[in-house]
Structures are given as structure tokens and as C-alpha cells.
Structure 1
Amino acid sequence: MQFENPSQSENGLQFKNSPEFARKMDKQDPIGAMRTQFHIPKHSDGSDEIYLCGNSLGLQPKKTEEYLAFELSQWQKYGVKGHFTGDYPWMPYHEFLSEGFAELVGANKSEVVAMNSLTANLHFMMVSFYRPTASRHKILIEDHAFPSDHYAVESQIKFHGYDPKESMILIKPRDGEETIRHQDILDIIEKEGDSIALIMLPGVQYYTGQVFRMKEITEAGHNKGCMVGFDLAHAAGNIVMQLHDWNVDFACWCSYKYLNSGPGSVAGCFVHERHHSDENIPRFAGWWGHDKSNRFKMENSFKPMHSAEAWQLSNPPILSLAAIRASLDTIKEAGGIRKLAEKSRKLTDYLRFLLKDELGEDIKILTPENEQEYGSQLSLTVDTHGIDGKVIFERIEQAGVTGDWRYPNVIRVAPVPLYNSFEDCYRFVQILKTSLEEK
């Protein structure tokens, strides 16, 4: 049954639950043509999949093959001389990503660098910014943090000789609630702040899709003398941020979700410029962080650069950086993060409207509705007729939808503005409805 009841969205659009409305929105979409710049996986019947999994692994931009092929040809032609030859020599290659990264997270170019992997970067940042003392040794994280973050924090606490049971503060939702109230974060910082050395929270919570209010959290932490860092794995390329203006101490993100640079691609890191000139800051150093003007004198006296580059260890994998450059150029072609966030809000609002209109009694949406607290992702649980959510997930996969299942009971879907359409949202909800009606 099709409903034609309009709904007023946050951005003033009158939504309708019909395929005609979805197609009309797609025709009016100023960046809708960006979909043609991506390889869309095919369903078994030859049609395009409804790919709603960009919050786990983004699709491949068509520029990627071209950029990788170019670097392979450089290697073929020039060998080691490729470090210094052509428009994109390998020696400074990471610098070609600085502008794109800086625009995505709201930073100065000197505050961002592409290096390592996400969890490795979190460890390296904690070496510098987790400096426990007898009176200030705690780390505030969320109770349902991504496991790698939890492991990293726990191991850092142990490395410094403290007991995680005493030094980890785990904030969680109130009983009967699914997401963490912002005020509860501020309250625990106010209450425990004098003993907290580091606050390390996500920009976007991976399980629920909740966006954390990073500016206010940073202000509250700094007011109590805490260092503040964020894991932006699900935020980079998803929401608009201003890390420099918010005075965040550090942040780290992967590049293979909303940044579409391929599985396991090199991660990104932000270090606020106020830390750049502190040559006594503790760090695990490597030669690529040494002053580039005399790096190749090969003298064993480390002199860090006055930028985020000082936290680099080794020369980076060029083929991975080429894939990131392809993605950043694709994002730039679309108009940048603000254009993407504008479309993302419309797509996600429309998807939420459809889910409520068609399946309001059968689906629970965990992701907050507050406009400050959601991005592209909606996290769903099935709440009907005793049907196992994993069974429903398998049914929608068989019908041509790629989403993401997270134990114990969440289906995550993310309409990504670069390649998803309003018709994708409409078709997904119809498939989900059919899957729920099956015996």
C-alpha cells in the first residue's frame, strides 16, 4: 500500500511516500550525477545493488583506477627516480592530500597528515597526549566504544602501570535508553574531570549513528584540564567539523568508509597547531617526522617538523595515497563536505520518514532525531512478531540490499550522498517491508 501523506522535514521539504516523489527528488538533486563517478556493485539479476554500507566500506570512485595506474606507470618508467619526477612525485606525496583532509575536518593544512592506520594513530596520539599522573590518570571513553578503541585505551593504561578498572571511566546510556545524553557527558566531565587525563570519544558512534557534540565536549574537558581527542572513523566525510576552531587536541580517522579510498587504506590524523612547537612532547618518533630540510643527512638527532607531519614514522605507501587522492578529488568535484552534508540530511530525513510511515510499529530507529546528533547512518532494530533481526538482514541482502549487521541486533544503513539516491531509500524500505511480511 502506498501512502501519499506529506510530511514536513527538518529542512522544509514536503516528503511523500511514493516512487514518483523519490524520482522527482533525484532529478532535482544538484549532485545526483556524482553516482556515475562510482562503480556500483550488481545484484544477481544484473541490476544495481542498493548499497547502503558506505559507513563500513565506501564504493570505488572511477578516478581510483586511473590514479593507481598512473603511479604504476611512474614506477615502471622511473624506478627510484619516481620519488622526484612528475606532477606527483612520491617524496612529498602525502602533502597532496593535506588540503583535502583539512577541508573535511575543518583544520589548517599543517594540522593534518595521512599516515598509518586508525588504531595505530590512536596509539601514537596517546603516547603524546595521555600523560598520567598519580592524581590524573583516567581516560573517559564510552562503554560501547568500537572494540579496537577500547583495547587501545586499556592497553595504554596498562602500559603506564595503572589498572583499567580504576583508570577507565565508561560512560553509557541511561537504563532503558540506547544513546548517551549529551548532558550526561558534560556532567561526568564536571564531576570526574580533575582525575581525567584524557577524554577520547567518537565523533559519530559506530553502533547507533549518534553524533557527539565535539565542540562542547572539548570546551568542558579543557575547562577541567583534560586533553581531548576524537575517533572520527564514522565522522570524516560524513558530517561538517571545525576541529581547529573547536580546539580539539587530536583526532584520527580511517579513509575507507565515507572517504572511499579502499579496504585498509591509509588513515588520517589531526594535531592542533598549538602542540606543533613543543619539541619536548613525548612521542614515538620515526625518520619521516624529522625536519624535511635535512632529513637525508641521516644524523641521529631527531628534530621534529612543526606540523602534524612530525608524528609520521615512515614513508607512506604511495598506491594507497593515490586512492585517497582520487577520493578527495571526487569529493571536491561534488562541491565539498558542506554540499555532501546538505544532501545527506535530505536523504537521511527522507529515509527516516519512509521507515516511520511504512514500518513505524515494526522498526525501531536508534539514531537520534535531534538535528545535531545524526549524519548519514540510521541504526535499526526489528521489533515485530518475534522475528530475528539477523533473518531480516539476510532477506534484504538476498533481495539486493547491502547494509551492515552488528551484534546483537542492529541493522545499520547509510544513504551516502555521493552515490546513493532517494529512489534507493524508497526501494530499500519496500524491500524491508516485504522481508518483514514473509513467514
Structure 2
Amino acid sequence: MDLPAFVERLRSGAPPKFPADADSLQFAQKLDSQDSLRHLRDEFILPTKGSLKKRALDGTIPGELNNGTNGVNGTASEAEQGIYFVGNSLGAQPKAVREYVLAQLETWASVGVNGHFLDMGKSPLVQWQDIAEDCARRSADLVGASPDEIVYMSTLTVNLHMMMASFYKPDAKRHKVILEWKPFPSDHYAIESQIVWHGHDPAKSMIKIEPDNDFIISTEKVLATIDEHADSTALILLPGIQYYSGQFFDIPRITAYAKERGIVVGWDLAHAAGNVELKLHDWDVDFACWCTYKYINAGPGSTAGAFVHEKYGKVDFSNDAENPTYRPRLAGWYGGDKRVRFNMANTFVPTAGAAGYQVSNPSALDLASVAAALSIFNKTSMHELRSKALVLTAYAEHLLDKINAESNAAQPFFKIITPRDPARRGTQLSVLLREGLLDSIAQALEANGVMCDKRKPDVLRVAPVPLYSRFEDVWKFMQILRGALGL
């Protein structure tokens, strides 16, 4: 079976059925040779075994020739690319980032403040005041929305607060927020503080959905929770993909079910944007937020994105040409319509669409990184990336299962806690290790040039990202893991 056939089976919901020689290097290399996206790996700078040992800057970049050497001491082993399976925490650096950032710096140095209004020739960037809008255009396929429904501003938790300021309107009857039992801590803090800010008690207003078994929360459990609290719930805010287990929630079904009961629906897509196919507009999501430093690869702390459905971005001038009506939100200068922004008037006229939810002048330097990262997504599609990811993750799952099956241990070395259904997970397998194994395995992986996220007490999060990961990387990872387990 070839790679396209694996994709077809997985997209149809059928198991992949890997052949007997699937655990061989030759099989992994065969799949790589059939990968139509394999050239995208060359768009990234991946840490090398040598560069991972670097503890002081020396002016060198991994993979580049420097005075005849490549990496620490220039040895072939040190120059070998590491295995970067931690893109669910921080994506690898796109080569385009350097070009885009240098273009921004040259513009700033050359024309100063006029960079806000000039489209410089030979630059990959538009004028500064339009960079966020340009990033929105580049993101339409990424999240399944029109550019007018997308805005790049601030960072993820700030944007969650901005969205809840507009969409969380508790009263004496409807004040609850439905969330999951173990959200990323910043989401918990944001929700809890919003509830307190509005004068409610988190103990009564935070409804946490517990998993059915192990770490998985079934869609049926979510729907049952909505039913139980429908009359008193103001907002449901869940992750598109749960960071710890890797579970991909049924966004369209949950969204429709909650909205039928009068509940506002928001999604944290930190681990979903750039990872799985999304159709936020068609799914009638009210709002969503995501960071850009994981699967989107724009760099640590880079400017985040937000989605606001078009129905909430309308600006109506029909009743008063000078004082339009629009959805209330926390307002700021850069949310104002560009046509009158520099009139410096005190009457706020918002930009139509999600851009009207901006507050401050966004960092052109940060947005240069975002634009660079998005330029790589614009060379492919989320459908193509998801197709590869389905097989890449299924292959990793197959080899992990084989390790457990061949160990002959009374107690398995580990358990995969990510859903087995490929449609219910992204590009991540969370591996729950037998107690006490995490530190030694993490050390062995690091010693062999593998970057992989560990979450204490006992979970390894393995994320082979399709933009830059190979099937050969998956195979090599498993050999290193075998060695760490003494097999």
C-alpha cells in the first residue's frame, strides 16, 4: 500500500493496515519518497545534534556552513539534524522569518515612521498598518473563515479576555461557563477571573467537564453537560484540541448543540490552528482564539489570532451616520476604521469585521514573523497537511504498539492516551509511561538529538508535524525509544 492509499483509508475512517515490514527503515523511506510535501522541510531550520548542545551564541545557524564547518566541531554526527517532535509546544523556525524580519528592520531604518504608509518595493511585507490585515488574508484556509472574520493582535490569553469582554454577559440567571476539567492553566485563570470580575462565584459558575475514562471527554458527555446546565449557562469555552491528551473535540456538533440552547460558543484553538482542518465560519462558531508559535511556527510569544463570526463584526450606520451601532467590545485606537483613524476624533468608529476588536497598534516586528510563517502554509493547503498528518500519526501509533507488543513485560511500558480514532486527534500522541520512566527516557531522547515534550508526572507528547517531519524521523525516534527502554 502506498501513501495516497493510506490517506484514502484514514480519511474514510478505515484503519491503515500497515504491512509486516512497516517497522523497517526502508518502508519509512518509501513513504517519504511518495510524500508530495517533502520539499517543505527545506523551508525550516531544524536544530542539529550539535546545536542542541550550544549554551552560548557564536554567530552560527544550524545547517549553514560556517568557515568550512557545520555545527559543533563540524563533525558529520554533530551536523546531523535532530528529530523535532515538539512543534506542539514551539514550532521550528521557518527560513522566511529572517528575510521578513530583516525587511521590516530595513524599512524602519530607511523611512522611519513612513513605514506605516509605504509599500516598499522588493519587500515581502505590506505597509505596517496593513500587516495584520495581510496576515488575516493569508489565514483564510488555515481556520476556514473569510479574512474579514480574522484578526491578528495581542497574545492568546489577552485575546481570550478581549473576546470574553464582548461575549460573556452573565446575569442572575445565566452566569455559568462550561469548560473542561483540565484546561491549560492560562485558560482556567482567564475564565475564573472573568467570572470574579463580573461578581460571580467561580465555585458556582465554573462547570468543569470530567473525562469519561482515562483522559478522554466524549462528545456525549459534553452534550449531556450542556443539557444539565443549559438554562444557567452564558458561555461554553473548550479547546479545539486538548493539550494534554491530544483529543480533537467535535467542534461543529458541540457548537450547534450549544447554540440551539442559547449559549455563546468560543474555542481555544492553540493546538488546533495549523494542525487540523477547521471551518469556523461554516460551523457558526461565535469566537475563537489561537496562538501562532506552535503549529503555525511564528516564534515564541508571537502575535496571536482571533476569529469573530461575521454577524458580530457588522457596523450599522443606518440610524446615525456619525454614531454607528455595533457589538459592544473593549475598544482601542487600532480597532477604529482606517479611513478616520488619523482624524484623532473621540468618537469610536470600528472597522467592520474582526479587525474592529483590535485595541493597540500591533508590533510590526512580531507580525513580520507571523507573515513569514503563514507564507509557508500558503504553499500548500490544510487538506494536504492533514492528509499527511493522518498517516504520519498512525504510523507512529503502529510502531509504538509494536514496541509494547514485543516487550513481553507483565506491565506495558506505556499507554497511548490520545484517542485511537484518527479523526478525533491531531498531530500528537500522548504517551503515558509506566511510573518512574519519564526522566530516564527524556534524557536518552535528548542525548540522541530528539526534542520531545514531557509533561509530569509521566507523559511524553510526541508531535511529528507534517510541514517538516518525515516518516524516517518517526522510525528513528522509535529506535531511540527502544534503546531507552532496554529493548
TM-score bracket, shorter-length normalisation = over 0.9
- Asked if residue 398 in structure 1 is aligned to residue 404 in structure 2, the reply is no
Moved more, 193-202 or 280-289: 280-289
Which has the higher Rg, Structure 1 or Structure 2?
A: 2
Hey, what's the Cα distance between the residues in 1 that align with 2:102 and 2:173? Answer: 54
- Asked if residue 83 in structure 1 is aligned to residue 116 in structure 2, the reply is yes
User: How far does residue 62 in structure 1 lie from its aligned partner after superposition?
Assistant: 0.8
- Per the alignment, residue 177 of structure 2 pairs with 139
> Secondary structure of the residue that 2:169 maps to in structure 1?
coil
1:29 to 29, 35, 39: 35
- Per the alignment, residue 344 of structure 1 pairs with 389
Amino acid at match of 1:433: R
Amino acid at match of 2:393: T
- Asked if residue 183 in structure 1 is aligned to residue 228 in structure 2, the reply is no
- Per the alignment, residue 428 of structure 2 pairs with 377
> Secondary structure of the residue that 1:74 maps to in structure 2?
helix
String of CA shifts for 1:239-274, please: whole Å, max 9, x gaps: 001000000000000001000001100000000011
- Per the alignment, residue 132 of structure 2 pairs with 94
String of CA shifts for 1:103-142, please: whole Å, max 9, x gaps: 1000011000100000000000000010001010000000
The answer to whether the Cα contact below 8 Å between 2:245 and 2:430 also exists between their aligned partners in 1 is yes
Hey, what's the Cα distance between the residues in 2 that align with 1:11 and 1:110? Answer: 39
> Secondary structure of the residue that 1:183 maps to in structure 2?
helix
- Per the alignment, residue 389 of structure 1 pairs with 438
- Per the alignment, residue 3 of structure 1 pairs with none
- Per the alignment, residue 162 of structure 1 pairs with 200
User: How far does residue 306 in structure 1 lie from its aligned partner after superposition?
Assistant: 1.7
Hey, what's the Cα distance between the residues in 2 that align with 1:106 and 1:148? Answer: 25
String of CA shifts for 1:362-393, please: whole Å, max 9, x gaps: 2210100123211101100113xx54323222
User: How far does residue 18 in structure 1 lie from its aligned partner after superposition?
Assistant: 0.6
Amino acid at match of 1:14: F
Hey, what's the Cα distance between the residues in 2 that align with 1:228 and 1:390? Answer: 39
User: How far does residue 437 in structure 1 lie from its aligned partner after superposition?
Assistant: 1.1
> Secondary structure of the residue that 1:71 maps to in structure 2?
helix
- Per the alignment, residue 367 of structure 1 pairs with 418
Amino acid at match of 1:377: Q
String of CA shifts for 1:68-116, please: whole Å, max 9, x gaps: 1111111111111111112411121111111222210000110001000
String of CA shifts for 1:276-299, please: whole Å, max 9, x gaps: 126453321101111211111111
Hey, what's the Cα distance between the residues in 2 that align with 1:427 and 1:108? Answer: 40
Gaps of at least 5 residues in structure 2 are 1-5, 51-76, 121-125, 316-324, 406-411
- Map 1:112-123 onto structure 2 (within 5 A): 112-123=150-161
Hey, what's the Cα distance between the residues in 1 that align with 2:475 and 2:450? Answer: 12
The answer to whether the Cα contact below 8 Å between 1:359 and 1:433 also exists between their aligned partners in 2 is no
> Secondary structure of the residue that 2:45 maps to in structure 1?
coil
The answer to whether the Cα contact below 8 Å between 1:213 and 1:372 also exists between their aligned partners in 2 is no
User: How far does residue 321 in structure 1 lie from its aligned partner after superposition?
Assistant: 0.8
- Per the alignment, residue 413 of structure 1 pairs with 462
Over aligned residue pairs, what C-alpha RMSD do you find?
A: 1.5
Hey, what's the Cα distance between the residues in 1 that align with 2:478 and 2:230? Answer: 44
> Secondary structure of the residue that 1:92 maps to in structure 2?
helix
- Per the alignment, residue 83 of structure 2 pairs with 50
Hey, what's the Cα distance between the residues in 1 that align with 2:27 and 2:485? Answer: 24
Amino acid at match of 1:234: H
> Secondary structure of the residue that 2:265 maps to in structure 1?
strand
- Per the alignment, residue 195 of structure 1 pairs with 232
- Asked if residue 318 in structure 1 is aligned to residue 364 in structure 2, the reply is yes
2:101 to 47, 51, 68: 68
Hey, what's the Cα distance between the residues in 2 that align with 1:217 and 1:21? Answer: 39
Hey, what's the Cα distance between the residues in 2 that align with 1:310 and 1:390? Answer: 47
Moved more, 278-287 or 199-208: 278-287
String of CA shifts for 1:379-427, please: whole Å, max 9, x gaps: 00113xx543232222211221100011222110100001000010001
User: How far does residue 12 in structure 1 lie from its aligned partner after superposition?
Assistant: 4.6
- Asked if residue 40 in structure 1 is aligned to residue 8 in structure 2, the reply is no
The answer to whether the Cα contact below 8 Å between 1:343 and 1:417 also exists between their aligned partners in 2 is yes
1:276 to 295, 307, 313: 313
The answer to whether the Cα contact below 8 Å between 2:16 and 2:394 also exists between their aligned partners in 1 is no
Amino acid at match of 1:339: E
- Asked if residue 242 in structure 1 is aligned to residue 279 in structure 2, the reply is yes
- Asked if residue 331 in structure 1 is aligned to residue 361 in structure 2, the reply is no
Hey, what's the Cα distance between the residues in 1 that align with 2:95 and 2:462? Answer: 23
- Per the alignment, residue 14 of structure 1 pairs with 18
The answer to whether the Cα contact below 8 Å between 1:11 and 1:346 also exists between their aligned partners in 2 is no
The answer to whether the Cα contact below 8 Å between 2:214 and 2:417 also exists between their aligned partners in 1 is no
Moved more, 297-306 or 144-153: 297-306
Moved more, 322-331 or 227-236: 322-331
Q: TM-score, normalization: structure 1? A: 0.95
Moved more, 267-276 or 78-87: 78-87
The answer to whether the Cα contact below 8 Å between 2:223 and 2:257 also exists between their aligned partners in 1 is yes
How much identity, in percent, do the aligned residues show? 45
Hey, what's the Cα distance between the residues in 2 that align with 1:268 and 1:210? Answer: 21
User: How far does residue 179 in structure 1 lie from its aligned partner after superposition?
Assistant: 0.9
> Secondary structure of the residue that 1:411 maps to in structure 2?
strand
String of CA shifts for 1:305-342, please: whole Å, max 9, x gaps: 22101110111111111111111111111x12111111
Hey, what's the Cα distance between the residues in 2 that align with 1:12 and 1:142? Answer: 31
